[in-house]
Structure formats: structure tokens, C-alpha cells
Amino acid sequence: MRLLVKGGRVIDPANHLDEVADLLVENGVIREIRPGIPEAGAEVLDAAGKVVCPGFIDIHVHLREPGFEYKEDIASGTRAAAAGGFTSVCCMPNTCPVIDNNAVTGFIRRRAEEVGVVNVYPIGSITKQQEGKEIAEIADLVAAGCVAISDDGRPVMNAEIMRRALEYTKMFDIPVISHCEDLNLAEEGQMHEGYYSTLYGLKGIPAVAEEIMVARDILLAGATGSRVHFAHVSTRGSLNLIRQARQQGLRVTCEVTPHHLTLTDEVVGTYDTDTKVNPPLRSREDVEALRAALREGLVDCIATDHAPHELEAKDCEFNLASFGISGLETAVAVILSELVNPGELDLGEMVRLLAVNPARVLGLDKGTLTPGAAADITILDLNAVKEVVPASFHSKGKNNPFKGRRLRGWPWATIVSGKIVALNGEIMV
């Protein structure tokens, strides 16, 4: 089986490549990239005027299966990923049962083989049942295929447990992904603590609730020599701490989300529960600091924290609504529209943040178009203009604060192991 992606601008930072060329895929593997490859019976995808990149990898996704299939399942979540331009996703362990043993890990991998349309890499929990009390069987999780561990959504409050987990993971060279939130400081909070929380009358979650845990985990990374990856970093103070840690040579990496890069706490004044997310949308100063950190190269990855919810979880009073944004289908368009097209972020940098670095952080054999690599490819149309219409999402979660916005720049084609799985928002398999 041969697929010829013809005439696109091919960007592959790993090979310092940025040129108009053809890309030939054979039997699911990238064979050759150069101008003027003959068609010779291959299926042809005309990519003239489009941008051809290594497949995007979202390292922070909630697929909800098993246990919460009314919010999302592996079939719908991977279809959403494909439509959104992602060829691989890593799924968080806050399922029911929790991904804290090899049986659940195996189940997810099998389901992904059966019904998934993109690659799925499970992330195991740090503690059994994510209860923060007893470390999970990490060796079993790694042997079963988990690429990292995290208690995402439920931070490990006990520093001793976190320390042991960090020491243990050193054996496998996988990162511990830290959801930084001091639950005592954040308790009952609904939005970022600041001017707008006072104005809107909603209890605030202070920036320090995140920063105190970033500081703790940096200290623990230093004490153990282990790898910590900070999930959804949202404040200027967290970035300052991470910068210092990097300068000290500690093995810390971090991700930011499209919503934290583009929305401030002011929008919560609509009382639209789709703006309720954890960590909360922060102040303008924080958003500016996140953007500056992207330009500086301090941020390793952009990840969605795709958190789909059923209608009832959001169609209620703000205080009662669940936290989370269904972000897989808008992430790439938001980054293109708000950062790349206005000239704030260059395309090569975007590819680093969405493909090269996610693969590096998790040790995945992905993130490049090098001949011989699996043909996971994301093709972008920088000029497409479309409105965000959650009702037409492939995800079961329609909770998205960008609804109604017209965005310029969208994923056009998603190719997994040489197979076109999504084209122009349609699923092809």
C-alpha cells in the first residue's frame, strides 16, 4: 500500500526540514521525502498549499473508558483526536476502575486496538485507586504498557508518597506527571482567585495552590534525581520555579493547554460553565507569562487536558458544574488561529510543542518524518476558516468555551500508520 502526499510544505524539526516536497508512504512507513516523487500507482493526497507535519501527540487526554462512557469512550475520544489532528493520545488514569494495575491497562490497549482510530498510550496512576495512600504496582503498569504515571485530577498530597513514587520510577526512566494543586488551598474554589472572582462572587483558587506543589515537586525531583513532568501549568509563579529548576539542571518538563494560553479569568463572567476548568483560567498577567514562556522555549509541550463531560455535568449552576473542557477538536485550530497565524509562534516551534517534545518526554518512537518511521502525519490548512460548533464534535463532550468562534487555521488530514483516518473533520475509517 502506497500513499503519496504531494506538494505540501513539509516541516520536520528533527531533520531540520522545512521545504515544499512530496512524501511517500509505503506499508505504513515513511519511505521518502523529496520533490517530484513519481505517482507510480500510489494513492495521491494533494497537499499543495497545506503544511505536512509529524503526527501530533496529545499527552494529556481523559478518554473516560472504563467507567464513564457516558462522558466519552475510546472510540469517540480517538475519533475526536483524529478530527482534531492528533495521531496519538495518552490517556489519564482517572477512570473507574482506575488505571492502577495491568488488567485495566491491558483492557485499554485492547479496546484501542479494536475501536481506536489513533494510537493510545495509557498513563497509570501513582497510587492505588488514586487515593494518595499506597503506591500502585508501578513495575506492572510499565510492563503492561503505561508510558508515565500520574494521579491527575487528584494530586498526591503526601510528600513522602510522592518521594517514594519518584524514587521508584527512576528504575524505568518514565516521568511522574504532577497535577499541582494543594487541595487545602484550593478547597471549594470555582475560578482563579483575583479581581474577577471578587467581582463575580465566586470562591477563588489562588495561584499559590498550584505553585506550592510545583515548588514541592521540584525539591523532590532534586532530592531523588527523578523526572517530573508538570501538567497544565497555568501561573507565572509556576513558570518562574520551573525556569530556576531547569537552570539547576533538574529533570523537569512541563506542558500548557490551549485554553490557558488564550483565555483569561475575565470570561468566567459569562457564568458559562464551559469556562470552568482545573486549574482555572488565570489572569491576563499569567496568560502573558505562559505565552512568553512558549517563545522562550521553557514550555516543552502543548497538551489539551481534554476533559469531556455529559450535558448534565455542565448544564447547572456554576458552583455545581464539573471542571473540564472538551478540547481535542479545537486545540490545533486555537493554536493556529491565536498564536501561529498572528505571527506569535512559528510553525516549526508549534511542531516541536505538539510532536517532537511530547515524544521525547514520554520516550515514544514518534514525532518525526524520518524515513523508516511509522507514517503518523498531521496536515494543516492554515487558511481554512470555520466556526467552532460543539454539536458536531465527534467527542461526546460538547463542553467547549470556544463555541461560536470563527477560527482561521485547522487540521486538514490525519494519517496514522499510513492510513488517512480523518479528512477535513470527517472520520474516514
Binding site for ligand DOR (CB under 6 A): 62, 94, 152-153, 179, 277-278, 305, 307, 323-324
Cβ-contact 85, 411 below 8 angstroms: yes
**Cβ–Cβ < 8 Å for 22, 4:** yes
Q: Which of 151, 217, 305, 376 is catalytic?
A: 305
| Nearer to ligand DOR among residue 305 and residue 338 (C-beta) | 305
Cell of 395: 467527542
Amino acid 343 reads G
Separation of alpha carbons 183 and 278, rounded Å: 12
Three-state SS for 55?
coil
DSSP 8-state secondary structure symbol assigned to residue 80:
H
C-alpha span between 41 and 173 (Å, rounded) = 44
Nearer to ligand DOR, 146 or 307 (CB): 307
CB of 416 to ligand DOR, least distance (A): 25
Known catalytic membership, residue 274: no
Q: Which is nearer to ligand DOR, 94 or 190 (CB)?
A: 94
Nearest distance in Å: CB 179, ligand DOR? 6
Q: How far is CA 225 from CA 18, 361, 395, in A?
A: 37, 16, 39
Q: How many CB atoms are located within 10 Å of the residue 361 CB?
A: 25
As given in the structure block, the three cell numbers for residue 132 are 494518595
Q: Which CB sits closer to ligand DOR, 162 or 416?
A: 162
Nearer to ligand DOR, 70 or 323 (CB): 323
The least CB distance from residue 395 to ligand DOR, in Å, is 13
Task: Name the residue nearer to ligand DOR (CB basis): 92 or 415.
Answer: 92
- Which single residue is written with the C-alpha cell 497509570? 124
Rounded CA-CA distance 333/258 in Å is 9
CB 92 within 8 A of CB 152: yes
Q: How many angstroms separate the CA atoms of 429 and 416, rounded?
A: 11
| Closest approach of ligand DOR to the CB of residue 75, in Å | 19
Query: CA 252, CA 400: separation in Å to the nearest integer?
Result: 30
CB of 426 to ligand DOR, least distance (A): 27
C-alpha cell at 175: 516521568
The burial class, CB within 10 Å (0-12 / 13-18 / 19+), for 36 is exposed
Q: Which three cell numbers stand for residue 59?
A: 499527552
Place of cell 520510577: 169
CA–CA separation, 120 and 59 (whole Å):
10
CB of 159 to ligand DOR, least distance (A): 20
Rounded (10°) CA dihedral 290, 15, 120, 6: 110
Question: How large is the greatest C-alpha to C-alpha distance in the chain, in angstroms?
Answer: 66
CB of 263 to ligand DOR, least distance (A): 13
Q: How far apart are CB 279 and ligand DOR at their closest, in Å?
A: 7
Q: In what order do the strands lie in the sheet with 86-91?
A: 56-61, 86-91, 119-122
* C-alpha cell read off for 126: 501513582
- Count of beta carbons in the 10 Å neighbourhood of residue 420: 19
426 C-beta neighbours (distance < 10 Å), count: 9
What amino acid positions are annotated as catalytic residues? 305
